[in-house]
Structure 1
Amino acid sequence: MRHGDRTPTHFYPNDPFESMQSKIWPEGLGQLNKQGKIRSRTAGNLYKQIYEDFLIGKQSRTLLCWSSPRQRTIDTAKLFMKSFLKDSEIDFQILIDEKLLSTSFKCPKADQIWRNYLSSERVRHYRESKKEFIEYLETKTGENYLENEIETLRKIEFLTTTLEIERDEYGLQVEDWIRNRTVIDSLDDIKNHAFLFDWQSPKIQKLRIGYLLERISKAILLHKSKTFTENNGFYLFSTHDVVQVILLQALGVYDQIGTKPPSYASAIVFEYYQQNSDEIERDSSEKKIHSNKKDLIRILYREILNNNQTSEFFIKEKQLIIDQCRYESIAINLTDNSQSKSLNLCPMENFLKAIDEYCLTEKNLIETCNSSERIAISLHRIARSKKIRFNRIQLV
């Protein structure tokens, strides 16, 4: 889950609001603002409505959550979980893990791959196509974006986000050029490409989210191997948009969420379902009853949006279909309180095979980050399986 709305993290040299930052953003730079706190709390309430059944009957216990070291992700996790667990006897504990949830974790191998990719012909061609606009930005902002071309697009992404916060979220009296539609569209295009190029290499994806995917797969398998009451049932990973983008790209579904990077408090949700059914096999002497369990995964991109006119928050979600499950997706009629809806589910073994080449243990991550060896990524082709139904669910 991405953190809630935040204050700026960067200013440009000619930014008139830098000298007023303590007045405009008393929370400090890069911290949750008032709207971010409201959105995080509301997200907890909305998720509780969806997954409340997992809290019923749970005695006093502690759910584990994970967060990056940034205060805004820690605060988001706290606010979310307090709302999610309100009126229950369940407590929570937040574990800080930079390797798991932050690209700030020092990984020389990932940095090397990043530099090589951003020096590629494809990135250079795009950067060159924007050179005239970038030079225009330099005259307006006082920043030298072309000084280090590898960092050009990312620095403009930082600028774009700062301008969005100042112009759109806080309604500050910004200069006319910042409100110009052509400028806004050009900045958005560079921001989108910065996210795309930074993390598009499968090798860097493995280093930056392989450990997280390993944790997700372990959580699903743990839930599968034990009874419902013996498990968390709900896992929260509080992180940043860049980690979400890498995860979506590794799964091959980034283009399915739309044209912009993940929004505040958005989440990539992994739901685990288990079908329990008894099949009767007849032989010459007697009937034999065999228990048949099927394990399934549903992946969602879920946003917590608000109506600008009423300030009310609501959930918008989209099911994501990975290539290995594109022909495995299963239409299910779920009956709950007399309501029916169709779900697309992926056989768990297909999902686990799809992410297997990306998964890294903590030990392997550290070793690989400091290694010069080639990182191998291969694609899996999964056979189609039969349609089935479910009766159990888990969110990661």
Structure 2
Amino acid sequence: MGVSRVFLRHTHPSVRSSDDRMSSLELYKLYRHGDRSPVAVYPKDPNTELSWPMGLGQLTNEGKEQEYYLGQLLRRRYGDNLKFLNKTFNVKDVYVRSTDYDRTLMSAYCMLAGLFPPTKEDSWNKNITWQPIPVHTEPTKDDHLIYLDNPCPVFTSKMEYFMSHDPEVLQVKNNTQDLVKYVAEHSGLPATFQGMMKILDTIFCEQTHNKKQPDWLNADTLKRLNYIQKTYKVKWWYPTHEMAVLKGGNLLKKIYEDMQTKLNTPANLTQKMMVYSAHDSTVAALLKTMKIFNDRTPTYSSCVMIELHNDNTVRILYRNDTFTDVIVTLTLPGCSEFCDIDQFHTILNDSMPADWRKACGLSDANEQNFKKFGYDVEQGLAKKTETSCVVNVIMYS
């Protein structure tokens, strides 16, 4: 995978020479929501749910600002600089879809406020510098595109095998037995590796918001927990390409099919930009599926941009730093920065399942059965078995 920078904060956003050829037909954008409260608190957590006024798993004011800034960044790049987006919003040009979570829906509204500040023509109230822009969603049980915690039995089986047989996993588990026991004793969580993994997201959110930590979370314990989080958490989400495809292949296939539609349809009949507001797990799955993921956690408001150009080439850009404007170019293995769409398809053909339900081992009957009995991952925590926790416990988003 090749990486190069496109532009930096505090520089004039006249983009590098490769952008001189920018004459896009369509832009596909997938980004993570902004800063949020933890999705859960642990049994002995001194910071209870009441410590978070908006509740658990909710977008914070910092998160709203991060998404608004992302919208402004994209306005500067694709509007002011490259003249790709119009200043005025037109529903025919932009389609926005979000997972059915408060934090992703609110992130979409905040990002759009930064991307499309009302012009004189858009203004509907002189006292309000904002305009309503539609955001579409589907119930989580029906969303197999950007909500990734719906049932996929083949993925679950492969993950269970990986977590119980992979040499690296077994070594980490063996080296952290004392830590697992210590965390369980003080947190009230199960004395299992999965139980310990549950606490990582909660601690991260509490530290980010300067919540007081209990004495047992001393410097050495935090250092060990943070190392596990940074080194293994995202790496183990999708440990193989095949597993990543079961989670990210649907979205990649949709993007590729939309590209083909755009290339074969008059420009005024399809949107200029498709936007997806989702989670770090969604961003990681798409990048891993495209064989360009570096196993680093997608930060709040991280953003993947896939540009389709009018010379039938595709370019992939990635912003993975909440606090700067750094955007890097990601190059598919065996391709150049501007990758011919036929070569794009050749490289990623094995990343787009012909029949996702079949690949996942789903039939209409067992999928309805999953829905009937509530097999759902609410706020990142599995409701069912301990083995399902193996799959989902480290996939907070």
* Structure 1 residues 57 and 129: CA distance shift in structure 2, 3 A: closer
Asked if the contact 1:113–1:203 (Cα under 8 Å) also holds between the matched residues in 2, the reply is no
State how far apart, in whole Å, the 2-side matches of 1:264 and 1:231 are. 30
State how far apart, in whole Å, the 2-side matches of 1:271 and 1:358 are. 19
Amino acid at match of 1:15: D
Asked if the contact 1:269–1:299 (Cα under 8 Å) also holds between the matched residues in 2, the reply is yes
Match of 1:100 in 2: 145
TM-score of the two chains, using structure 1 as the length reference = 0.72
Match of 1:206 in 2: 245
- CA RMSD after TM alignment: 2.4
Amino acid at match of 1:27: M
Match of 1:355 in 2: 348
State how far apart, in whole Å, the 2-side matches of 1:371 and 1:157 are. 28
Amino acid at match of 1:17: N
Match of 2:60 in 1: 33
Unaligned runs of 5+ in 1: 147-151, 275-293, 307-313, 330-343, 373-396
Asked if the contact 2:99–2:147 (Cα under 8 Å) also holds between the matched residues in 1, the reply is yes
In the alignment, structure 1 residue 316 sits paired with structure 2 residue 326: yes
Asked if the contact 1:8–1:29 (Cα under 8 Å) also holds between the matched residues in 2, the reply is yes
Asked if the contact 1:302–1:316 (Cα under 8 Å) also holds between the matched residues in 2, the reply is yes
Match of 1:165 in 2: 205
Q: Spell out, residue by residue over 1:130-166, the C-alpha distance to the aligned partner (whole angstroms, 9 max, x if none).
A: 22222222233232241xxxxx34x444312211111
Match of 2:369 in 1: none
Matches within 5 A, 1:1-396: 1-18=31-48, 21-22=49-50, 24-52=51-79, 53-56=83-86, 60-62=90-92, 63-87=94-118, 91-96=133-138, 98-122=143-167, 123-146=169-192, 152-153=193-194, 155-167=195-207, 169-178=208-217, 180=219, 182-191=220-229, 192-255=231-294, 260-274=296-310, 294-303=311-320, 305-306=322-323, 314-325=324-335, 329=336, 344-360=337-353, 364-371=355-362
Percent identical:
22
Choose between structure 1 and 2 for higher RCO, CA contacts under 8 A separated by at least 6 residues.
2
State how far apart, in whole Å, the 1-side matches of 2:102 and 2:174 are. 37
TM-score of the two chains, using structure 2 as the length reference = 0.72
State how far apart, in whole Å, the 1-side matches of 2:69 and 2:57 are. 21
Asked if the contact 2:34–2:103 (Cα under 8 Å) also holds between the matched residues in 1, the reply is yes
* Structure 1 residues 156 and 295: CA distance shift in structure 2, 3 A: farther
Amino acid at match of 2:108: A
Unaligned runs of 5+ in 2: 1-30, 123-131, 364-397
C-alpha displacement of 1:179 = 5.2
State how far apart, in whole Å, the 2-side matches of 1:201 and 1:86 are. 42
Amino acid at match of 1:125: Q
State how far apart, in whole Å, the 1-side matches of 2:218 and 2:260 are. 50
Amino acid at match of 2:298: P
Amino acid at match of 2:342: E
State how far apart, in whole Å, the 1-side matches of 2:218 and 2:255 are. 42
Amino acid at match of 1:78: Y
Amino acid at match of 1:201: T
Asked if the contact 1:205–1:246 (Cα under 8 Å) also holds between the matched residues in 2, the reply is yes
More strand by share: 1
State how far apart, in whole Å, the 1-side matches of 2:63 and 2:179 are. 32
